[in-house]
Amino acid sequence: MEFVVEEGKKPHDQCSTLLLPALSIGNAGQLAMDLMVSSTRAERIGFFDDPFLLPCVGNDAYGPQPQGQLALPLEAYDSPSNALTLVQQRSPVVKGKMVEFAKNLADFAAATGKKHAVVLSSLDFGRCRNIDMSSGLQTYYLSSTNSDGTDDYCEQLGWKRLQEYNPTQRCWKYLSTLAEGNALQDDNPFEDELEEEDYYPSLPFAALFSCFKAKGLKVTCLLCYCSEGDNIQDAFHLAEAACKLLGLSPSNFHGNEGNGWLIPYSWKSVYGPPPDMSIF
């Protein structure tokens, strides 16, 4: 992976926390990153050229006026006032190359002096075992702070550790070993028929978690269950969780919403135009 710094710009040393999505159902993590980039008014400082990422290109996702700045598959934004580097991923990883991609991102984080990586992602609501919607959307987490994935601060925030995390389970264990560079490809359990317990370690967030952890970084995954459809509220949920974890207040973002959020311009057409009500 090559990181290309934009002309006339440079990374900020004070941005010690890395915030990024892991692709999953509903693209909730990516939508949350759009919301965070827009609301913090982060500045794009560069982009990544990675052989394991499918190519894509589009218009500027944040500015209402065309500036001639194309949106690329993997970009980095800095928000020095919030000590954040935000990475947005807009295209999927080549099949079978997620661990290699995660290693490249972990190498970048370590080389640029990041101390904490926060991964935003979603989980398939159809696989949720204990459904309790009495208090709204629930935030789940997975942390490298303790070997069992727990974190006292996350617990204080009222979040639940992902119960399906088991570092001794074959796929979680394989990911950890592979992230440390010790596994042989012939031992890959993901090539076998996956069982129910293999679902979570097969997701992109699990590879990112394992690779950042192997580099000695603190890593926290923030997760929520959702379904395909309009996932705007799931994006708000994950973005708000990230702010709580990092001690940020959305009310200080001075956005176009009453609560401080700045809605990305690209969201105006994310689900197409409203239906023609005359057909009803």
| 148-194 per-position pLDDT tens digit | 999 999 999 999 999 999 999 988 998 999 898 876 555 666 666 66
Look at residue 23 in the predicted model and tell me its pLDDT.
95
Look at residue 167 in the predicted model and tell me its pLDDT.
93
Band (pLDDT 50/70/90 cuts) for residue 90 is very high
What is the average per-residue pLDDT within 117-139? 80
Strand arrangement of the beta sheet that strand 218-226 belongs to: 2-5, 43-49, 74-79, 84-89, 17-21, 116-124, 218-226, 140-143, 160-161
Residues 6+ apart with CB under 8 A from 229: 26
3-class DSSP state of 1: coil
* H/E element, 4: strand 2-5
Amino acid occupying residue 90: R
Question: Which of 27, 9, 222, 215 minimizes the C-alpha distance to 105?
Answer: 215
Write down the pTM of the prediction.
0.91
* Percent of the chain surpassing pLDDT 90: 65
C-alpha distance from residue 169 to each of 96, 133, 250 (Å) = 20, 29, 38
Q: For the structural domain made of 14-94+113-166+216-269, what CATH number should be given?
A: 3.40.50.10900
Q: Where are the domains of the chain?
A: 14-94+113-166+216-269
Q: Is the pLDDT of residue 70 over 60?
A: yes
Band (pLDDT 50/70/90 cuts) for residue 134 is low
